[in-house]
Amino acid sequence: MHVRYVLLLCFVCLLSCSDNQKQDRDGMVFRYNESSNVASLDPAFARTQAEIWITNQLFNGLVQLDDSLNILPDIAKKWSISEDGKQYVFSLRNDVFFHKNVVFKDSARAVKASDFEYSFSRLKDEKTASPGAWIMRNVSSFRAINDTIFEINLERPFPAFLGLLTMKYASVVPEEGFKNGYNFRKKPIGTGPFAFKLWEENVKLVLRKNRTYHEKDERGNRLPYLEAVAITFLPDKQSGFLQFVQGKSDFISGLDASYKDEILTPTGTLQEKYLEGFQILEGSYLNTEYLGFKVDNPESILADKRIRQALNYGFDRTKMVAYLRNNMGTPATNGFIPKGLQGRYLNGYIYDLPKAISLVQDYKTETKKNNLSITLSTNASYLDIAEYLQREWQKIGIQVRIDVQPNSALRQAMATGKGEFFRGSWIADYPDAENYLSLFYSKNFAPNGPNYTHFKNDLYDNLYEQSFLEIDNQKRFELYRKMDSIIISEAPVIPLFYDKAVRFTSKNTQDLDINPLNLLQLKRVKKQANSSKKK
């Protein structure tokens, strides 16, 4: 009997130790759900936020952004720019290695300047068909001078060029990963804080800690702190939310109509039942939510500036954000450029119902048209906003039909210039207002560029081209303000609100910082092991 008791006690102890070890391991794994489809893990195709978040853990470039959008060294430890702003010379670190892989005979090869020469050549190559090839449009040449010196020459000055190089498109990749039938899309080889481990498409992706990662913290400890990142792919955002509140994932990003009122109060704070186990992170987000007009159709009432201005005056943005976004956003009563970027125009549209009615009446009197109607194309997640606007614009004499489309169809209509009046959003690709102003440059007409409204204004185009030649930042920002003011005056868009980056995390997750690009940075994240999970 005594022997049996001892054996049972030992068995219980082993189980307990095993459980504790598992909890410790689980405590160092960061889990989240991605509801969007991920088509590739190749940074040359990192077009969507879902793909950017993942490739940001796997890859590095010459430079990187901190959470305040300052450009910092990455694989390049320093750089110089010529006086004419056309030549960039980067000095590279010599302690950055590609992840261990069979293409290097299971070793980890050091990164050289020639790897950037290959990566940029591949990005530009039409055969690659990368959606990020446009970032090399102004590059005339580049070369590896030796193993640690890399030179880039531009066709013309572009002050925002370093910001372009922080995009994941500009990541370094090894040439060996594209030879002998190796499937780089599915088994990427990078230099980042985490290395690829497993990808079961549309089910699960696992990344493991890169123990030779080159970055260290302030105490000299090598990053990252986490052992792994595990990503699930539940397409339903409500299911992803339930997974989070059950403690099966560590964070969710953004608001969705399926759960926003469940987790947030009308004033934008956490509901009381979630205060104990969860926390909310929020900050400025370089994302302007807007409605766009295709302005070059003479048969449409939207070709007339008075109608576009009336629609801008004809609703209360503050009320809309408060009631339909739980105050998670800033009413867009300034220009198109969002908060957080230099050069934005500060005098936009405010709610003015008499002004809106007067503009519509002027149009009716001149054109002899009395029954004014338009169709707004949107997606299901913005139906509540569309219906609110529909009711408000009826008060100024404009009938609005709402056409709800799948996201893919809506994007296709915008890209091909077929959308008369459409819901859009513009998230900054790089931290410079030029990125937003490029949407209205006439040479960027869709489908060859992001000018979905087909807006054309000679003064605007001249100012836009001048900004490329202006090296003095303050003078360049003044040119930006003038362009933004033209957009407000001519009204090819209706700025709705400047978005907020919103994240909900479990309280055992530490140092998951937020930034205006809503970029997911996990290299400094820590988790408390053995913390209790909300049931």
Q: Are residues 466 and 512 in the same domain?
A: no
CATH of the domain at 403: 3.10.105.10
* pLDDT tens profile 410-459: 888 888 877 889 999 998 888 899 999 999 999 998 887 889 999 999 99
pLDDT for 344? 93
Q: Are residues 306 and 217 in the same domain?
A: no
- Backbone angle region of 50, left / alpha / beta, with phi > 0 → left and psi within -120 to 50 → alpha: alpha
Q: Are residues 213 and 314 in the same domain?
A: no
Q: Are residues 459 and 517 in the same domain?
A: no
Statement: residue 298 has pLDDT above 70: yes
Is 39 inside a domain boundary?
Answer: yes
Statement: residue 8 has pLDDT above 90: no
Query: How far apart, in whole angstroms, are the C-alpha atoms of residue 288 and residue 487?
Result: 14
Is 249 inside a domain boundary?
Answer: no
Task: For strands 29-33 and 228-232, give the pairing.
Answer: parallel
Query: How far apart, in whole angstroms, are the C-alpha atoms of residue 383 and residue 281?
Result: 26
Q: Which residue's structure tokens are 């060294």?
A: 73
Statement: residue 26 has pLDDT above 60: no
Segment 227-245 mean pLDDT: 93
Is 170 inside a domain boundary?
Answer: yes
pLDDT for 220? 94
Domain that holds residue 133: 32-232+508-527
Is 276 inside a domain boundary?
Answer: no
Is residue 332 a contact partner of residue 290, using CB atoms and an 8 Å limit?
yes
Query: Number of C-alpha atoms within 13 angstroms, CB side, residue 496?
Result: 26
* pLDDT tens profile 214-224: 999 999 999 99
Q: Are residues 218 and 288 in the same domain?
A: no
CA nearest 242: which of 260, 254, 259?
Answer: 259
CATH of the domain at 204: 3.40.190.10
Is 158 inside a domain boundary?
Answer: yes
Q: Are residues 329 and 378 in the same domain?
A: yes
10 contacts: CB under 8 Å, gap ≥ 6? none
Total domains in the fold of the chain: 2
Helices (H), 282-329: 305-313, 317-324
Q: Are residues 207 and 294 in the same domain?
A: no
| Residue 14 Cα distances to 1, 21, 198, 203, 515, angstroms | 20, 10, 30, 33, 44
Q: Angle of helix 473-490 relative to helix 458-469, nearest 10 degrees?
A: 160
pLDDT for 63? 98
Segment 227-256 mean pLDDT: 92
Q: Are residues 95 and 202 in the same domain?
A: yes
pLDDT band at 471 (very low <50, low <70, confident <90, very high): confident
**Which span out of 146-150, 233-237, 257-261, 502-506 was modeled with the highest average pLDDT?**
146-150
Q: Are residues 338 and 436 in the same domain?
A: yes
Q: Are residues 77 and 180 in the same domain?
A: yes
Is 437 inside a domain boundary?
Answer: yes
Is residue 226 a contact partner of residue 209, using CB atoms and an 8 Å limit?
yes
Q: Are residues 213 and 346 in the same domain?
A: no
Is 268 inside a domain boundary?
Answer: no
Burial class (CB in 10 A: 0-12, 13-18, 19+), 218: exposed
Query: How far apart, in whole angstroms, are the C-alpha atoms of residue 367 and residue 152?
Result: 55
Q: Are residues 73 and 216 in the same domain?
A: yes
Is residue 4 a contact partner of residue 18, using CB atoms and an 8 Å limit?
no
Q: What is the CA radius of gyration of the chain?
A: 26
Query: How far apart, in whole angstroms, are the C-alpha atoms of residue 301 and residue 369?
Result: 9
* pLDDT tens profile 68-84: 889 999 999 999 999 98
Is 260 inside a domain boundary?
Answer: no
